[in-house]
Amino acid sequence: MVCGYADELGLKVKPHDLRRTCAKLCRSGGGELEQIQLLLGHASIQTTERYLGSRQDLAHAPNDRLGLRWREGSE
């Protein structure tokens, strides 16, 4: 169906292009990588990272913005 409409409009669009665009829009909108993995049905998070052309940013994790500080002696 997608290919038929794209052809009528003179566009070179495949269903997989729309799948990738949806995933990238979800990510740029703040979607969690794990949720996008579930959306796409990938078994491995690494597959999702390759699919999006991104990697998890462990140096600037979202929880770093919580402002929590480690106190010596608290475990």
In this structure, which long-range contacts are made by residues 53-62, counting pairs with CB atoms below 8 Å and at least 24 apart in sequence?
54/27
Pairwise CA distance, residues 45 & 37, whole Å: 6
More confident residue, 57 or 45: 45
More confident residue, 59 or 6: 6
Look over the chain and give the mean of its residue pLDDT values, rounded to a whole number.
81
- pLDDT of 26 reads 92
Residues 14-35 have pLDDT tens digits of 888 888 889 989 988 989 999 9
Across the chain, how many H-helices and E-strands are there? 4, 0
Is the pTM here over 0.85, yes or no? Answer: no
- Backbone φ and ψ for 60, nearest 5 degrees, come out as -130, 60
